[in-house]
Amino acid sequence: MTVDLATLAAILAMAAATVLTRLSGLVLIRHVSLEGSRRKAIESIPPAVLMAVVAPTAFATGIAETVACAVTAFAALRLPMLVSVAFGVACVAILRVLGL
Amino acid sequence: MNDNTKQQDFLGGMRAISPLIAAVIPIGLVFGAVAATKGLSPAETALMSALVFAGGSQFVAMDIWTHPASWTGVGFAALLVNIRHVLMSASLGTRMGGFNQPVRYLSMLFLADEIWAMAEFRAKVAKLTPAWFAGLVVPFYLAWVFSGLAGAALGAFLGDPVVLGLDFAFPAVFIVLVMGFWKGPETGAVLLASGAAAVATQHFVPGVWYIAAGAVAGLAAAMLTGKARGVEVTP
């Protein structure tokens, strides 16, 4: 049960960054109102960040990943999250077995 | 508020969060198993889940994990992935009239997507109390930390996550979340700009800069489409 020093530093950096995002909203509402266009711009951050994270997997990794991403997105239109994710995982596993 | 009401509120929070606990345990197991394949010990995995407590950024960290770990890389990635917490905490902060200042800040340390969603929903129908919020946080936090630990310990037995497709679980979760953020054509513009910028940047620049590039491109697209529409509706 060892904890590597570089790993500990990385975990602490992640924790500090996360605490900062969690508390800054509370600090923010004491000073500025988030309405109108400012709110709309901030609302676009979550989809922009999530898309940036998945884009290399979805478009630049392989056929299996691209197809599985499309299947997951389609499933998410109708099905709950866990089921959609299960479809995506099953799809990528099958396509990889087929050698795509 | 007497102890009995507090207890009722705590149990009410636990009831509200219970279906999400059932959903988070398999994700925690997968996280632990992925962390094990990246060379993290069970202690390191549990420490990360306990201190960071933000699944999205933890999976991104595993995605870009190096040896030795780069605290700047994963720290910056965590900041980018969790920037949504700023808006969530600002929004939930306005619902915490029943919390004194220290309790408000302490509670916000446990802000996660699921907890935020349940707390916002509660605030629509009743006054949000610290006891009810604690009823959300305590079981959900323990479920996340211990499922991660179990996944890390069982990692070897769960098999190769790539063959099982389990490495795909989190991209899949992100895709489902992206679909949930869809609000119309302007979201399409954000996603297109973000995706294109991320793929291009990842191709040419090493490291996690593609996340920043995609986020900035998406934000720019949102501001541009917002501005264009503003011009249209101006008489």
Token digits for A52?
A: 């940036």
Indicate the residue type of B120. Answer: E
Domain that residue A94 falls in: 46-100
Claim to verify: residue A22 and residue A53 sit in the same structural domain: no
Claim to verify: residue A72 and residue A99 sit in the same structural domain: yes
ipTM (interface pTM): 0.79
pLDDT band at B150 (very low <50, low <70, confident <90, very high): very high
Tell me if A73 is assigned to some domain.
Answer: yes
Of B161 and B185, which is predicted with more confidence?
A: B185
- Asked whether the predicted pLDDT for residue B233 surpasses 70, the reply is no
Overall average pLDDT of the B185-193 stretch: 92
What pTM value is reported for the model? Answer: 0.71
Can you give the pLDDT at residue B235?
Answer: 41
Q: DSSP letter at A32?
A: -
Claim to verify: residue A51 and residue A90 sit in the same structural domain: yes
Report how many domains make up chain A.
2
Q: pLDDT tens digits for B97-139?
A: 899 999 999 999 999 988 987 888 888 889 999 999 999 999 9
Overall average pLDDT of the B146-169 stretch: 79
Query: What whole-number distance in Å separates Cα of residue B29 and Cα of residue B31?
Result: 5
Which of B115, B175, B182, B199 to probe by mutation at the A interface, max A CB count within 10 Å? B175
Token digits for A61?
A: 């990794």
| Percentage of chain B modeled with pLDDT above 70 | 92
B90 vs A contacts (CB less than 8 Å): 25-26, 28-29, 34
List Cβ neighbours of A67 (8 Å cut-off, separation of 6 or more): A91, A95, A100
Overall average pLDDT of the B72-101 stretch: 87
Residues of chain A with pLDDT under 50: none
